[in-house]
Amino acid sequence: MRQKLLLHVCCAPDLTVPYLRLRRHYEVVAFFYNPNIHYDGEYMLRLGEAERLAELWGFELIRGEYMPQDWFAAVRGLEDEPEGGRRCRLCFRYRLERTARMASELGFEWFATTLTISPHKDVKAVNEAGERAAASYGVKYLRTEFRKRDGFRESVRISRLLRMYRQRYCGCVFSMR
Ligand code: SF4
């Protein structure tokens, strides 16, 4: 029997390839948890696209809570950090801690994140955040680098085919600058 894996989803295009790769080995449930996304309209757009993909491909997607004020409080003092800096590392930890907690509450053995498909993200920092979160909640984190083996290019191809919305900024208000 395949083990259950909770997959943190940052957006629908980034979910495509990770889901297709992981479902060969795990029973995958997606978890959309991104209080970093601004503004509300943008958040709903990204969530809606992830839900559309889940319905199209027939897998479960859990909606995480959306509390951007808590995320702002967590990154206070790091507003002027450049993209890829300390604010981003904290943002990875924030989202993966919540995912690890959810995986533990639901009795999942594993969790992972779609964040490592992006050519703009520090994969080492993402995986370190995942492992720290795993240690806090007693679940296993699956280290990945989905952008390898042409993962990112394939995700762009699939998302264009499905006419998915592709955002132009990472997510937070600071990344819109
Ligand atoms: S730029 Fe992206 S990863 Fe960095 S803090 Fe903003 S939303 Fe999070």
Q: In angstroms, rounded to a whole number, what is the distance separating the alpha carbons of residues 143 and 149?
A: 15
Q: How many CA atoms lie within 13 A of 135 on its CB side?
A: 7
Amino acid 1: pLDDT: 85
Amino acid 91: pLDDT: 98
Pocket test for ligand 1, best of 94, 117, 170, 173 (most atoms within 8 A of CB): 170
pTM summary value:
0.98
Amino acid 96: pLDDT: 98
Ligand 1 closest atom vs CA 84: 4
> Could you tell me the distance, in angstroms and rounded to a whole number, from the CA of residue 2 to the centre of ligand 1?
33
Q: Any residues with CB less than 8 A from the CB of 104 and at least 6 apart, and which? A: 137, 138, 139
Q: In angstroms, rounded to a whole number, what is the distance separating the alpha carbons of residues 70 and 101?
A: 17
Q: In angstroms, rounded to a whole number, what is the distance separating the alpha carbons of residues 92 and 167?
A: 18
Contact between 126 and 94 (Cβ < 8 Å)? no
Helices (H) and strands (E) in the chain, counts: 6, 5
Q: What residue owns the CA closest to ligand 1's atom 4?
A: 88
Q: In angstroms, rounded to a whole number, what is the distance separating the alpha carbons of residues 153 and 117?
A: 9
Amino acid 25: pLDDT: 97
If you search the block for the tokens 């795993």, which residue do you land on? 134
Ligand 1 closest atom vs CA 75: 5
> Could you tell me the distance, in angstroms and rounded to a whole number, from the CA of residue 174 to the centre of ligand 1?
8
Q: What is the mean pLDDT of each run of 10 residues along the chain (177 residues)?
A: 96 98 98 97 98 98 98 97 96 98 98 97 98 98 98 98 96 92
> Could you tell me the distance, in angstroms and rounded to a whole number, from the CA of residue 139 to the centre of ligand 1?
25
C-alpha separations of 47 from 31, 41, 53, 56, 66 in Å? 10, 10, 10, 14, 11
> Could you tell me the distance, in angstroms and rounded to a whole number, from the CA of residue 173 to the centre of ligand 1?
9
CATH 3.40.50.620 fits 3-176, yes or no: yes
> Could you tell me the distance, in angstroms and rounded to a whole number, from the CA of residue 84 to the centre of ligand 1?
8
Residue 133 exposed, middle or buried by CB count within 10 Å (0-12, 13-18, 19+): buried
Domain boundaries, the chain: 3-176
If you search the block for the tokens 């757009």, which residue do you land on? 45
Q: Which residues line ligand 1 (CB under 6 A)?
A: 36, 83, 87-88, 91, 170-172, 174-175
